[in-house]
């Protein structure tokens, strides 16, 4: 590792598992101090213990603005600034349009769209000029895929937020980019199926649609996030980096 994030203070939301945890690991490996958030204190403590150093857990729900305020207060008191924000927390629920309930709609929009939006709004005052923000969207943000109507719309909202935040923060030298994963092997996969057989069939179905012929690994998403938060991408802002084994473009 290059250690070129040495001394940087970073926040990764939803970092107890999956992509968020892999991103936190990569940022720590590159020298950053990383705040990890999530709703389960036990899961977060285990994640921080696994990272071993330069990591701190703060429990909270991204859909709860009070929790976001508390998180910002902790970071301000302990470090006084943030250099990197990775708004990763998100959830999925697969429901055909005819069966969508207001509860399904609100859960996905509250967590994914509202949670991501206010994570940025609340942390921006703490961000150092020249900092970097990455918002986790999804390749679904440009797809029409049965059962994912509300989820895809939350992710399209996130892609749009990235453009506007990038324009609003450009004067401070803060770059804002979006990263859109394809199908990545994390616990979110199992959430989309009720039985192991369904999960196996669903995974095979996804794999058959992926040009490179396999699911992605969380570390491959962490590579993309590292690129977007490091000086390697110093001339890139408002962009959507799609990391999906070719699904969207091929
Ligand atoms: P995951 O379920 O493994 O992890 C999601 C994390 O977010 C968990 O730590 C979870 O506890 C946390 N989280 C969920 N709701 C939260 C809330 N309200 N407040 C705080 N934390 C919350 O999923 P993942 O695959 O690691 O997904 C990470 C991000 O990547 C999500 O935004 C997801 O939509 C996006 N994504 C994932 C895939 C994929 O195939 N895995 C594809 C496209 C986009």
Q: Which of 22, 188, 247 to mutate to test the pocket of ligand 1 (most atoms within 8 A of CB)?
A: 188
Integer Cα distance of 177 and 186 in angstroms: 22
Integer Cα distance of 1 and 50 in angstroms: 18
Tell me, yes or no, whether 94 lies in a domain. yes
Tell me, yes or no, whether 43 lies in a domain. yes
Tell me, yes or no, whether 80 lies in a domain. yes
Q: Which atom of ligand 1 is nearest to the CA of 17?
A: 9
Q: What is the C-alpha R_g of the chain?
A: 17
Tokens linked to 115: 């949670």
Q: Is 173 in the pocket of ligand 1 (CB under 6 A)?
A: no
Q: Is 116 in the pocket of ligand 1 (CB under 6 A)?
A: no
Tell me, yes or no, whether 109 lies in a domain. yes
Integer Cα distance of 169 and 167 in angstroms: 6
Residue 248 confidence (pLDDT) above 90: yes
Asked whether the beta carbons of 118 and 65 are under 8 A apart, the reply is yes
Asked whether the beta carbons of 91 and 112 are under 8 A apart, the reply is yes
**Which residue, among 144, 227, 141, 242, has the nearest Cα to 184 in the 3D structure?**
242
Tell me, yes or no, whether 3 lies in a domain. no
Instruction: Grade residue 185 by pLDDT with cuts at 50, 70 and 90.
Output: very high
Count: domains in the chain: 1
Tell me, yes or no, whether 181 lies in a domain. yes
Residue 240 confidence (pLDDT) above 90: yes
Ligand 1: which residue has its CA nearest to atom 10?
A: 14
Residue with the bigger pLDDT between 160 and 2: it is 160
Task: Please identify every residue annotated as catalytic.
Answer: 151
Distance 113 CA to ligand 1 centre (A): 13
Largest CA distance in the chain: 52
Q: Is 25 in the pocket of ligand 1 (CB under 6 A)?
A: no
Integer Cα distance of 178 and 164 in angstroms: 11
Tens digits of residue pLDDT in 35-90: 999 999 999 999 999 999 999 999 999 999 999 999 999 999 999 999 999 999 99
Residue 239 confidence (pLDDT) above 80: yes
pLDDT score at 143: 96
Residue 2 confidence (pLDDT) above 80: no
**Which residue, among 164, 158, 149, has the nearest Cα to 179 in the 3D structure?**
158
* CATH code at position 74: 3.40.50.720
Domain of residue 227: give its range. Answer: 9-186+219-243
Tell me, yes or no, whether 208 lies in a domain. no
Residue 188 confidence (pLDDT) above 80: yes
Tell me, yes or no, whether 203 lies in a domain. no
pLDDT score at 53: 95
Distance 31 CA to ligand 1 centre (A): 24
Distance 51 CA to ligand 1 centre (A): 19
């Amino acid at each position: 590792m290059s250690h070129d994030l040495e001394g940087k203070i970073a926040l990764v939301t939803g970092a107890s598992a999956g992509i968020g945890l892999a991103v936190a690991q990569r940022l720590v490996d590159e020298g950053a101090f990383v705040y990890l958030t999530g709703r389960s204190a036990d899961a977060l403590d285990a994640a921080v213990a696994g990272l071993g150093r330069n990591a701190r857990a703060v429990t909270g729900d991204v859909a709860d603005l009070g929790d976001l305020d508390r998180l910002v207060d902790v970071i301000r008191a302990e470090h006084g600034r943030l250099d990197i924000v990775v708004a990763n927390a998100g959830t999925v629920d697969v429901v055909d349009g005819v069966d969508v309930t207001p509860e399904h709609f609100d859960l996905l929009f509250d967590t994914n769209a509202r949670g991501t939006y206010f994570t940025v709004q609340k942390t921006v005052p703490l961000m150092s000029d020249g900092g970097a923000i990455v918002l986790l969207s999804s390749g679904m943000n440009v797809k029409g895929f049965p059962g994912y109507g509300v989820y895809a719309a939350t992710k399209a909202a996130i892609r749009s937020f990235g453009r506007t935040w990038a324009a609003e923060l450009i004067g401070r030298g803060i770059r804002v980019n979006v990263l859109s994963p394809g199908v990545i092997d994390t616990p979110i996969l199992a959430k989309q199926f009720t039985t192991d057989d369904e999960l196996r069939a669903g995974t095979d179905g996804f794999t058959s649609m992926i040009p490179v012929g396999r699911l992605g690994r969380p570390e491959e998403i962490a590579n993309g996030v590292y690129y977007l938060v490091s000086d390697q991408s110093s001339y890139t802002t408002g962009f959507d980096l799609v990391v999906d084994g070719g699904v969207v473009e091929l």
